[in-house]
A and B are shown apart, each in its own frame.
Chain A
Amino acid sequence: MNLLRTIVPAFIAVLLAPMVAAQDAATIDLLLDDAAKIEPGDAEAWVKLRDQIVAFGEGALPALKVAGADEKWTEQAWPRALAAEACRARIELPQFVEVVERPPGINPEHYAKFRKPAPTCVRELVHPGKQLVPMLLERWRWTLDQHAFSKGEAGKAERDALAHALLYAPGFHADTRARFALLAVLNDKALPDSWRSDAAVSYGQTGGRDALKVLNAFVDDGGNPLALREACAGAIGWVAEDAAYDAIEARLANTELPGHARLIPALVNGLGILGARLGWQARGVMAKEQGERIRENCARLLVATLKAHPLHGAFIGQQLQVVAWDKSLDWIKELSKDGENEAVRNAARDIIDPLTLTLSRYK
């Protein structure tokens, strides 16, 4: 009898468990549907709903994983996927909830300890890795201002520091899930240019070829703020594709581009990023061939740009160091002798020493 008393309830529970889980999953799905409809910045609605989902605990994880799978982060449905992944992260990574909700780096008592006592929380929000990105995007979309910022200028600096970190982290981790969230920031003219610029870079790091089209358009549109166009020009370099090289080459050549002269350093920066030796090294052996091709192209284009714009020689030289293409030193040496004018020859001459040093590190 005792055995029956023990076994029967357990047996019944096992039989019912899938039904309960299915009920929970359905509830969670409904809650996520509601979450997707919550307006950005509506912290109260979001937190109320989020807490309902998180209350399911680990039992919610299967449903959340399905709802937050990478392929669910589409242009239309990404807020729902974000809600799912943010909740999942809160359940799986409870130790990091506090740092996301109250980053020490924007707490005056903590940042007073810094060598430079200004608010910044990039490191603490980036170091835990890609796993934190959903919670950071959640913070961006719904609870950015759910924070006891200081009053006055200090509070503005704290808020700005938090926004920068939230927008920087997804790109740093190349988390493609974030691309549409970042695109939304880039397109939001009501936001500060500096935030949109941060988003542009992160978008370049996460958006792939789709991002390239958007970034090109932003660069080309003279009606956009120059700082934003510059950020977009640099961000093109984060799209590790031949098409990105083509985009930069075309824009360097297009003197009809509004504000062309002002955009040259930003496009040069894009070339440095695109051709970066260490960047391609990080992308692994599978990308090696593509990387070699792109790096050589970038190096050639940088040298060509030096001929046309020797006044930017120092900056171009730094990008050549970043690209670190072996033969670029020969090209620069030739230019230092055969450059068509003194400005070009001098600019090339100034690059020889640092570029030689750079290349010596890779021998």
Chain B
Amino acid sequence: MPSRNRTRGWTILASLAALCLIVASCSGGSDGGSSGGGGSSNPPTPVLPVVDFSASQTSVMVNTAITFTDLSTNTPTAWEWDFDGNSTLDSTTQNPTHTYTVGGTYSVRLTVANAAGNATLLKTAYITVTAPVSGTADLDSDSDRSGTVDASDDANENVWNTQYGAVFHYNIDDDNNNNNEDFNETTKTGNDIIDLARVFVRQFPSPPVNGSATITVNATAQGRIRVHRLNGASWTSVYSTGASFTLPLASISAGDIELGIEGTGRLSSSWDGHVTLTLEIRDAGNVLHSSDAIRLRQAPPLFATNLWPVIQLHIINVGSGTYGNLNLRNSLTTICNNAGFTFTQIPGGTYNNDRWLQDSSEPAVTQVPSSSGPRRIIDLVYQCYRLRECDQWCVDALFNPDWELQRRFGTVNSSLNYGGNIEVIPPHTGRAWGRVYIGGGNGFRVGTTQSATEYMDTTNRQYFDANYIQGTHVEVTSEWLAVGHVDEFTMFLPAPNTTRGYACLIASPDLGASVLTGLGSGGAGLTVFAGRTVASDYWQTTVGAITGNAALMTLQGQTQARIDQARTQIKTASGLTDNDFIELPVMFENAGSNFLAAYNPGVVNCIVMPSANGTTYIAMPDPEGPDSGGVDVWQQSILNQINNPASPQVPLYNGANPMSLTFVDVFYSYHALLGECHCGTNTRRIPPADDWWDK
């Protein structure tokens, strides 16, 4: 619509009025004369006009001409029309015709004037112009997981399966290093922008007049995501709670709108990570014009298996002395130097010498599609509900722009919640990324009918169950242990020369005992735990004292039956067979109230470290068995078991995949304190070059 200068327009109107008066006066004013009567020569007294008008139609489609008719009285001599109520002069014709080209509801204003003055009438919302809706609701996400959102994403965008469906992630890293999960922040800048999964609301050129554009969030995902909108160069939050959010129609008609989605809630029993966003375009009467839905899913944590190559090993430095770990640190320094791992020793004083780093957290990664490659990998650490000093290490050392922190949750401070009780059965049929297994159960303490009922916190278990790649979790009996962790009696390791590619080390108290009884009467006097004679923590004994102790030996058989039960549970859940297990000599003893712990250093609780150079390094607790002929019989048993010629694993390691096994001293530094070297370390590993979402 053309616009005119308002001031100039009224000047012209006033001039016209004056001219009309002059004309009327000069012409004798026939109208005025007749109305004045009497042949008087006085000019008629002007009367203010009374303004009114009508329109030929008040409800039309766009581009339909409407004739406006002036119905004013008292002889107006000038007219000014404003057809859209914006106070801009549109016509000075008395009965103009106007065509609306854009849908909407318009107010019309007419001002008329004569010599007596002027009058204005505004008819509010007088004309309704309906536009033919042009466009279709269109939401796009990276449904084909290419890392970019493009036309190819339209197909199958409303499903989520192994082939299609966009992925976003739980934005729990800390890109701005403020120790605050990024999902808590309503504006996104810098590196954090890359953490948003893109969704585009495509342009809707001509939306319904007075309609609405609403994006609804499916019920289970409400409050578990945040949606940001790109405005110019900045991102601002447009959704965090509730059932829906709206977008301005004008924006949609102007062009595409770019949104970014992040997860703000963890997977749980009430949310499996699925999100369905539905864009609905409705008209003024709230009648649905069109809609489009997309389906996304929050990436799950992928907990590391022992088959993943190690790149970094962490340990708490608790100094030297009886309970110090100098010997272990020296051994690991050598291993890491040979393997090319980064070995990070954390000053124990920072964490009150809480040495149980494995228990503080469980390492994992998460992966999302990437435009710069097949996937973007984000390190993640799951902080366990433990409430001990070195838990803070997760925050201090790991929580950063490239390392996400899944902070602890739960309510029960049980040792079963610790990281050592979270392990992964490596990939097997139907489980390309393996399956989480944890310890717990409801049974008796070994050798008794005293109750032993303890589970990992329900919230944690539900978290693992909601993990649709590595869940549901497998629970194996461990409630009979003093600490209660699965890493006390099981540990997976690569076995590259086997069909399955891995094996499970499993503690065998029966083997531990039979190795000693196998020494016969001549071996009875041999020393076990030689030199472990600190009076306040005395361990040294003899073979005969062990093998002649009916209580201790009976306990080995009882414990073996319990471990066999756990083994059956793993087999049932994974399809593993007895050939996939390698028994190692670990005897058990009462560590208090008939809950058990390893008697000899628990060799199964080892650190398994595949490396990029092809060698798998294993740091295994020195079992400190008796020397017979210069050989530690438990050590020899371990080597025999791993390279057992009667087992199908043989040889576990040769040629391109050698094994480097180091027996490490953990006796007083860990073993005497109810743990071993796996319990005291934590690893950072590289996941397989594979996508989880197509499995």
A residues engaging B (CB < 8 A)?
Answer: 95-96, 98-99, 104-105, 112-124, 126-129, 160-161, 164-165, 168, 171-174, 197, 201, 205, 227, 230-231, 233-234, 238, 240, 265-266, 269, 272-273, 276-284, 314-315, 317-319, 321-322, 324, 353-354, 357-358, 361
Beyond A104-B536, A161-B592, A357-B567, list 9 extra A-B contacts (CB 8 Å): A127-B539, A128-B538, A164-B593, A172-B549, A205-B551, A280-B550, A322-B554, A324-B557, A354-B568
Residue pair A115, B359 in contact (C-beta under 8 Å): yes
12 pairs across A/B with beta carbons < 8 Å?
A115-B359, A116-B674, A126-B590, A164-B593, A172-B552, A174-B549, A174-B550, A276-B554, A276-B557, A278-B513, A280-B550, A282-B548
Q: Which secondary structure dominates chain A's binding surface?
A: helix
- Indicate whether B530 reaches chain A with its CB closer than 8 angstroms: no
Q: A122-B590, A278-B557, A318-B561 are in contact. Are A283 and B449 (CB under 8 A)?
A: no
A-facing mask of B412-454, CB < 8 A → 1, else 0?
0001000010000000000000000000000010011110000
Q: Closest A residue to B680 by CB, please name it.
A: A115
Q: A240-B550, A282-B547 are in contact. Are A129 and B593 (CB under 8 A)?
A: no
Residue pair A115, B674 in contact (C-beta under 8 Å): yes
Residue pair A171, B551 in contact (C-beta under 8 Å): yes
Residue pair A279, B557 in contact (C-beta under 8 Å): yes
Residue pair B550, A283 in contact (C-beta under 8 Å): yes
Other-chain contact of B592, A122, A281, A358 (Cβ < 8 Å)? A122
Q: Closest B residue to A202 by CB, please name it.
A: B551
| B403 smallest CB distance to A (angstroms) | 25
Complex formed: what's the CA distance from A285 to B672 in Å?
Answer: 33
Q: Closest B residue to A270 by CB, please name it.
A: B449
| B198 smallest CB distance to A (angstroms) | 45
- Indicate whether B158 reaches chain A with its CB closer than 8 angstroms: no
Best-buried of B415, B508, B673 by chain A (most CB within 10 Å): B673
Best-buried of B388, B551, B593, B674 by chain A (most CB within 10 Å): B551
- Indicate whether B323 reaches chain A with its CB closer than 8 angstroms: yes
A-facing mask of B525-569, CB < 8 A → 1, else 0?
000000000011111010001011111111011101110110110
What's the count of A-B pairs with C-beta under 8 Å? 171
- Indicate whether B510 reaches chain A with its CB closer than 8 angstroms: yes
Complex formed: what's the CA distance from A174 to B548 in Å?
Answer: 11
| B476 smallest CB distance to A (angstroms) | 14
Residue pair A318, B549 in contact (C-beta under 8 Å): no
- Residues in A whose Cβ lies below 8 Å from that of B675: 115
- Residues in B whose Cβ lies below 8 Å from that of A279: 550-551, 553-554, 557
Band of interface residues on B: 35 or more
Q: Closest B residue to A124 by CB, please name it.
A: B537
| A319 smallest CB distance to B (angstroms) | 8
Q: Closest B residue to A264 by CB, please name it.
A: B449
Complex formed: what's the CA distance from A318 to B444 in Å?
Answer: 12
Complex formed: what's the CA distance from A354 to B561 in Å?
Answer: 8
Residue pair A276, B561 in contact (C-beta under 8 Å): no
Complex formed: what's the CA distance from A44 to B502 in Å?
Answer: 62
Q: Closest A residue to B548 by CB, please name it.
A: A282
Complex formed: what's the CA distance from A337 to B308 in Å?
Answer: 45
Best-buried of B356, B589, B674 by chain A (most CB within 10 Å): B674
Other-chain contact of A354, B537, B551, B565, B679 (Cβ < 8 Å)? B565
- Indicate whether B483 reaches chain A with its CB closer than 8 angstroms: yes
Other-chain contact of B450, A96, A117, A197 (Cβ < 8 Å)? A197
Residue pair B541, A129 in contact (C-beta under 8 Å): yes
Other-chain contact of B449, A173, A230, A322 (Cβ < 8 Å)? A230
Q: A269-B448, A318-B561, A361-B514 are in contact. Are A120 and B673 (CB under 8 A)?
A: no
Q: A115-B675, A354-B564 are in contact. Are A278 and B592 (CB under 8 A)?
A: no
Residue pair B536, A120 in contact (C-beta under 8 Å): no
Residue pair B592, A113 in contact (C-beta under 8 Å): no
Q: Closest A residue to B529 by CB, please name it.
A: A127
- Residues in B whose Cβ lies below 8 Å from that of A231: 448-450
- Indicate whether B686 reaches chain A with its CB closer than 8 angstroms: no
Residue pair A281, B511 in contact (C-beta under 8 Å): no
Q: A129-B541, A234-B448, A281-B553 are in contact. Are A113 and B673 (CB under 8 A)?
A: yes
Complex formed: what's the CA distance from A227 to B444 in Å?
Answer: 12
